[in-house]
Amino acid sequence: MVIDRIRRAATASAAAVDMSELLGAFTNDMVCRAVAGRSFRVDGLDKVFKEVMDTSMAVLGGFNLENFYPGLAKVAGGVLMWPGRRKAERLRDRWDEVLDKVFDEHASMAAAGAPARHESDFTDVLLSVKEEYGLTRDGIKAILADMFAAGTDTAYLVLEYTMAELMQHQDVMAKLLA
């Protein structure tokens, strides 16, 4: 599937192929299938999910005045920290929107007694052990957010690095293709 998309993109034009975009979409799709049981591309949630992920990484990795100057957090009632907090709250609301759809979809299928799917996904597993481990809705959503964030970025970066190394070492690429 991914290899076919790369081939099509490479043969469609003489321009360079954006491997970051292709590999990012691939890993996003794989993680969504493992965690939520389906691809987010169907509902257009993949674009929302990518936006939320990119914004999360920018907020978490960005400059935070409070980290460098903790005393400023108390100056003028914390006015200097309000923009950063508002941004984080909006981001939290976006995560809630995406994760609520996943959670509600799985919970409604379980409550309706829908026939079990051929394979259960990670969300189904969490819902099945919810009572046993005392998991709350917010706890499950936090675990799902961690799985999405960790699974997507890590796998994507490893694939991108591997492709870059293979392009630099044509002898290894030839062995793999043989």
**Whole-structure pTM value:** 0.75
Mean pLDDT (the chain) is 82
Query: Is the model's pLDDT at 118 over the cut of 60?
Result: no
CB contact at 8 A, 37 and 124: yes
Q: How confident is the model at residue 138 (pLDDT cuts 50, 70, 90)?
A: very high
Q: Which residue has the higher pLDDT, 171 or 54?
A: 171
pLDDT tens-digit profile of 13-54? 777 778 888 888 888 888 888 888 887 777 777 788 888 888
Among 46-55, 146-155, 168-177, the range of highest mean pLDDT: 168-177
What's the pLDDT score for residue 114?
Answer: 60
What's the pLDDT score for residue 71?
Answer: 76
CATH of residue 123's domain is: 1.10.630.10
Joined tokens for residue 159: 């694939």
Torsion angle defined by CA atoms of residues 32, 44, 156 and 97, in that order, rounded to the nearest 10 degrees: -60
Among 5-9, 78-82, 95-99, 148-152, the range of highest mean pLDDT: 95-99
Percentage of the chain with pLDDT > 90?
17
Query: Is the model's pLDDT at 9 over the cut of 80?
Result: no
Number of domains the chain is built from: 1
Gap between the Cα atoms of 75 and 66, Å rounded? 11
Query: Is the model's pLDDT at 77 over the cut of 80?
Result: no
Burial class of residue 70 in the structure, from the number of CB atoms within 10 Å of its CB (0-12 exposed, 13-18 middle, 19+ buried): exposed
Q: The domain containing residue 134 runs over which residues?
A: 2-177
